[in-house]
């Protein structure tokens, strides 16, 4: 089984994944070798690091570990190119993906070969895919979505087109890639789908044509009815697929194909019916079947249900339970236990046989397609020495724009600043798990039951948050223009020129949106890392004006550390070749 690990994750998280997974072979590239030197010390099973570069792999820090062998691409040139003998059975693990865990540690979900292959071939049938299938690799390799994006076309004689994260996240670049690469299927989370929809809506009819695109798949989070209707008004021939499924059951388990706009009174987009060789149930707390229209937990059985969580028997037994509804006509292979996976999602059957998704039962959400346990964010935030208690919720200001909001009660005065809290979490959590907004409270509201009353938490506003820096008005036309861009993208009413972008709630997708606008207006050769080096309106404006006085030079030097942090977060994705065809 393989275990994808995003190199932009905090070192502590990578170290835990490497150690916990007990991997024996690690594939990486030369620029990341130095970073690995402090992360593999506790990896008792790791025997080999394979560098995918044509460079020497002598590394003093890693070479000091006698049991560890380091190879590069040249070491494998003399090997036979014949296919290796197959050693796996259908029930063997194919891959393991780490998902957010409520205890503060990610848990590894194991997916079998038969489950992964069943998902792919079910989609072949559902979408009538052929050797003309051309798929855009839009998802990070650390997500379950990526598995069928890179593998499915190769199993049917099609093509996968790999692009960098910038191309996926910036609407005009995404549109150009879809058109120039003749993509037939694209899969996007709602935030990116909405950005593409907004961009194409502004084009002339003849300029927005996508003649090769057959399917627009929207996954990861619920998509709004209005967006679906708008898309089908613009592209009536390009059907929308609203797919749903957990990592633990090999990705998609249901989907709904939308081929015409909904009626005006339609509230939600259904997640559809089960894919092939899967069974869906809506159950109550006693594992009893519920009738049409009654909300309950969405549960799944069948070939796609995985093996459970790696080295976590307690969590496995809670979520993977014996199937009391086993059907002899749908018998699994003899060496497979018939299990139900309890998704933790709330849903109900509709009269037409489809399922309506109603949200989470617990405090787990999806942010930009990544699963996030709110409890994990709360666990790490509570480790800050001046945080007495905290609650993290998900807030949706507009469709497709889910954000994490942290409500914090400090132990003592002065209360920790937003930048202090963000920087503290940044060392422990990946970008998609960082709250966009921090709200400081004197105490958390308590319900009569004694629990925190989440409904009574104050709604975050669009006002400028309380920052360490004083508010300074824009002084010239360029600063006014940049401030306007930040305000629109960050949904903040007032932005000062000394405010740092990430302190205002910015994240990786926001950075790319700002980057696109600034390149368009001011500097076509602007580098994405320049936004990490100059994270305030004042500093980026002076950089764009090419001002080089002493004070600016000193400021640039102080921000070099931020540049390195930015590079680390984006390095893996930007090292990929742009629009490389596989």
For the domain that residue 553 is a member of, what is the CATH number?
1.10.1200.10
Please tell me the number of Cα atoms within 13 Å of 247 on its side-chain side: 24
582 lies in some domain: no
Asked if 340 and 322 touch (Cβ cutoff 8 Å), the reply is yes
Whether the pLDDT of residue 552 is over 80: the answer is no
Query: Do 355 and 495 have their domain in common?
Result: no
pLDDT score for 458: 86
325-360 pLDDT, tens per residue? Answer: 988 777 888 778 899 999 999 999 999 999 999 888
Both tokens of 546, joined, read 């090419």
What local confidence, expressed as pLDDT, does residue 496 receive?
87
pLDDT at residue 75 greater than cutoff 80: yes
Is there a single domain that holds both residue 225 and residue 341? yes
Q: How confident is the model at residue 571 (pLDDT cuts 50, 70, 90)?
A: very low
Closest CA to 307 of 109, 471, 569: 109
In a domain, 304, yes or no: yes
- 402-444, pLDDT tens digit by residue? 789 999 989 888 889 888 998 899 899 988 899 988 888 888 8
- Inform me whether the pLDDT recorded for 76 exceeds 90: no
Q: Encoding tokens for residue 170?
A: 């910036």
Whole-number pLDDT of residue 398: 66
- Is residue 32 assigned to a domain? yes
pLDDT at 562 over 70: no
Residues 262-289 have pLDDT tens digits of 998 888 999 999 999 999 999 999 999 9
Q: What is the pLDDT of residue 334?
A: 78
256 bridge partner residues: 242
Question: Is-contact 239 256, C-beta < 8 A?
Answer: no
Phi, psi (deg, nearest 5) at residue 152: -55, -50
Do 196 and 75 lie in a common domain? no
Q: What are phi and psi of 330, to 5 degrees?
A: -120, 50
- Other C-beta atoms lying within 10 Å of the C-beta of residue 481: 17
Strand order in the sheet with 107-112: 93-99, 107-112, 308-309
Cβ-based neighbour number of residue 564 at 10 Å: 12
- Which residue among 334, 360, 386 closes a domain? 360
Q: In whole angstroms, what is the distance from residue 272 CA to residue 270 CA?
A: 5
Higher pLDDT: 468 or 35? It is: 35
126 vs 148: CA distance, rounded Å: 14
* Helix/strand/coil for 136: strand
- 547 — pLDDT class (breaks 50, 70, 90): low
**Per-residue confidence (pLDDT) for residue 150, from 0 to 100:** 93
Q: Assess whether 351 and 395 both reside in one domain.
A: no
Distance between CA 193 and CA 200 in Å, rounded?
A: 11
Total domains in the fold of the chain: 4
Percent of the chain residues past pLDDT 90, beyond the cut: 47
Domain for residue 288, yes or no? yes
Question: What pLDDT was estimated at residue 252?
Answer: 96
Does the residue 337 lie in any domain?
A: yes
pLDDT digits 0-9 by tens, 218-257: 998 888 898 999 999 999 999 999 999 999 999 999 999 9
pLDDT tier at 573 (50, 70, 90 boundaries)?
A: very low
| Strands 437-441 vs 402-410: parallel, antiparallel or unpaired | parallel
Q: Answer whether residue 470 is part of any domain.
A: no
What would the mean pLDDT of 481-494 be, rounded to a whole number?
A: 87
326 and 211 within one domain: yes
Q: Is 161 helix (H, G, I), strand (E, B) or coil?
A: strand
Determine the pLDDT at residue 315: 94
Q: Are strands 278-283 and 355-360 parallel, antiparallel or unpaired?
A: unpaired
* Strand duo 278-283 + 273-274: pairing: unpaired
Across 211-306, where does the E strand assignment appear?
215-218, 239-244, 254-258, 273-274, 278-283, 296-302
Q: Which position has the higher pLDDT, 323 or 551? A: 323
- Does residue 54 fall inside a structural domain? yes
pLDDT at residue 339 in the model: 96
**Phi-psi domain of 287 (left: phi exceeds 0; alpha: psi -120 through 50; beta: other):** left
Angle, vertex CA 337, rays to CA 335 and CA 339, nearest 5:
155
Q: Do 251 and 322 lie in a common domain?
A: yes
Segment 127-132 mean pLDDT:
96
343 and 440 fall within a common domain: no
pLDDT at 582: 35
Return the higher-pLDDT residue of 361 and 552.
361
Residues 384, 329, single domain; the answer is no
User: What's the pLDDT score for residue 20?
Assistant: 95
Domain boundary among the residues 58, 87, 116 is at 87
Tell me the C-alpha distance between 111 and 88, whole Å: 13
Per-residue model confidence (pLDDT) at position 519? 87
Mean per-residue pLDDT, 109-136: 97
CATH of the domain at 124: 3.40.50.12780
On whether residue 59 sits in a domain, the answer given is yes
Q: So what's the pLDDT on residue 184?
A: 98
User: Which three-class secondary structure state does DSSP give residue 49?
Assistant: strand
Same domain membership, residue 447 and residue 493: no
In a shared domain, residues 125 and 252: yes
For 547, the domain range is 477-574
Parallel, antiparallel or unpaired: strands 134-137 and 107-112: unpaired
Please report, for the domain that includes residue 399, its CATH number: 3.30.300.30
Closest CA to 307 of 45, 90, 19, 139: 90
What average pLDDT does the structure give for the chain? 86
Of the two residues 395 and 553, the one the predictor is more confident about is 395
* pTM of this structure: 0.75
**Residue 551 neighbours by CB under 8 Å, 6+ apart:** none
83 and 99 together in one domain: no
Q: Are residues 424 and 315 in the same domain?
A: no
CA pair distance 57, 314, nearest whole angstrom: 41
Residues 6 or more apart from 233 whose CB is under 8 A from it? Answer: 261
Q: CA 307 to CA 112: how far, in whole Å?
A: 7
């Amino acid at each position: 089984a393989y275990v994808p690990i995003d190199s932009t994750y905090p070192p502590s998280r990578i170290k835990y994944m490497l150690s916990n997974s007990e991997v024996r072979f690690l594939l990486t590239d030369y620029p990341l070798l130095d970073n690995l030197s402090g992360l593999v010390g506790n990896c008792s099973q790791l025997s080999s690091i394979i560098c995918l570069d044509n460079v020497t792999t002598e590394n003093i820090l890693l070479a000091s570990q006698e049991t560890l062998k380091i190879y590069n691409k040249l070491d494998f040139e003399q090997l036979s190119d014949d296919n290796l003998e197959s050693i796996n059975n259908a029930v063997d693990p194919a891959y393991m993906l780490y998902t957010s865990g409520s205890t503060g540690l990610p848990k590894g979900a194991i997916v079998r070969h038969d489950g992964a292959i069943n998902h792919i071939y079910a989609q072949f049938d559902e979408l009538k895919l052929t050797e003309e299938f051309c798929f855009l690799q839009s998802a990070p390799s650390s997500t379950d979505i990526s598995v069928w994006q890179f593998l499915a076309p190769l199993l049917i004689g099609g093509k996968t087109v790999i692009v960098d994260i910038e191309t996926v996240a910036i609407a005009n670049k995404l549109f150009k890639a879809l058109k120039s690469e003749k993509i037939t299927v694209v899969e996007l989370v709602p935030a990116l789908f909405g950005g593409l929809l907004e961009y194409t809506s502004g084009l002339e009819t003849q300029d927005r044509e996508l003649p090769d695109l057959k399917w627009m798949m929207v996954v990861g989070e619920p998509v709004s009815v209005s967006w679906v209707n708008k898309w089908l008004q613009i592209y009536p021939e390009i059907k929308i697929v609203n797919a749903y499924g957990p990592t633990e059951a090999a990705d998609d388990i249901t989907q709904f194909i939308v081929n015409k706009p909904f009626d005006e009174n339609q509230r939600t987009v259904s997640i559809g019916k089960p894919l092939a060789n899967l069974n869906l149930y809506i159950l109550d707390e006693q594992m009893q079947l519920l009738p049409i229209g009654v909300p309950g937990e969405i549960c799944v059985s069948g070939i796609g249900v995985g093996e459970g969580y790696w080295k976590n028997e307690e969590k496995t037994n809670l979520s993977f339970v014996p199937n009391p509804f086993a059907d002899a006509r749908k018998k699994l292979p003899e060496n497979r236990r018939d299990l139900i996976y309890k998704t933790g999602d709330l849903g109900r059957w509709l009269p037409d046989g489809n399922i309506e998704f109603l949200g989470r039962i617990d405090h787990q959400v999806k942010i930009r397609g990544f699963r996030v346990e709110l409890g994990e964010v709360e666990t790490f935030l509570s480790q800050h020495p001046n945080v007495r208690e905290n609650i993290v919720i998900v807030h949706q200001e507009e469709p497709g724009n889910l954000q994490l909001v942290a409500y914090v009660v400090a132990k003592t005065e002065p209360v920790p600043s937003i930048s202090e809290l963000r920087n503290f979490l940044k060392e422990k959590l990946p970008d998609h798990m960082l709250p966009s907004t921090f709200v400081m409270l004197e105490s958390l509201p308590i319900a009569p039951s004694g629990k925190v009353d989440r409904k009574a938490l104050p709604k975050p506003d669009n006002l400028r948050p309380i920052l360490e820096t004083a508010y300074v008005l824009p002084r010239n036309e360029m600063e006014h223009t940049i401030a306007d861009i930040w305000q629109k993208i960050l949904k903040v009413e007032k932005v000062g020129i000394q405010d740092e972008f990430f302190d205002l709630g910015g994240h990786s997708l926001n950075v790319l949106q700002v980057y696109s606008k600034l390149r368009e207006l001011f500097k076509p050769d602007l580098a994405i890392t320049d936004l990490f080096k100059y994270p305030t309106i004042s500093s980026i404006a002076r950089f764009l004006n090419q001002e080089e006085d002493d004070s600016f030079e000193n400021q640039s030097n102080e921000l070099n550390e931020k540049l390195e942090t930015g590079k680390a977060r984006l390095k893996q994705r930007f090292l990929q070749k742009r629009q490389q065809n596989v």
